[in-house]
A and B are shown apart, each in its own frame.
Chain A
Amino acid sequence: KQEVTQIPAALSVPEGENLVLNCSFTDSAIYNLQWFRQDPGKGLTSLLLIQSSQREQTSGRLNASLDKSSGRSTLYIAASQPGDSATYLCAVTSSSNTGKLIFGQGTTLQVKP
């Protein structure tokens, strides 16, 4: 059974810092991995999608990497800003079952001015 874990559960950093959010999954047979952002009480905004054949994806100040063999993904945020404060969720779809996303519990990030 695929399980997704995100550590830490919460993170507080001063503005301008570069930071890394971690996501691990137990079954390396994934179809893709997606990172989302969620503001309080709101829906999910897709940040980056990494196909199983890819090692990383970049969008602006965000860079996500994928290491299938070790069951890990990281989301790197450069030069953090207070507007980056939100909960970040990673989710995987399995190769054998691409119909559903399996989510971690998220990392809540606070960037202090």
Chain B
Amino acid sequence: DAGITQSPRHKVTETGTPVTLRCHQTENHRYMYWYRQDPGHGLRLIHYSYGVKDTDKGEVSDGYSVSRSKTEDFLLTLESATSSQTSVYFCATRDSRNYGYTFGSGTRLTVV
């Protein structure tokens, strides 16, 4: 979707290094989400935000942290990447005025 940009689109990193993924939106949506997708698991929620500086954990938050210092950006950080965090990461947003969620195109992260 043109309103959501995830960066980088692809990244290969080494075990133990910090990694930050960025989700940028131009829709002024209040809610933002980070999901990961792995074979056999579907999409699992990592963290979400319901406003600037307001974040909460999802079902698979261990090893991840997030920050939202302004409405348009939601950052996902892997403090010390592990091979189990190799995955495709999707960002999503939602406007408080309607019920539709919009997903980004994803970031494919490989930890070697």
Q: Do A and B come from one complex?
A: no
Chain A interfacial positions (CB closer than 8 Å to B) = none
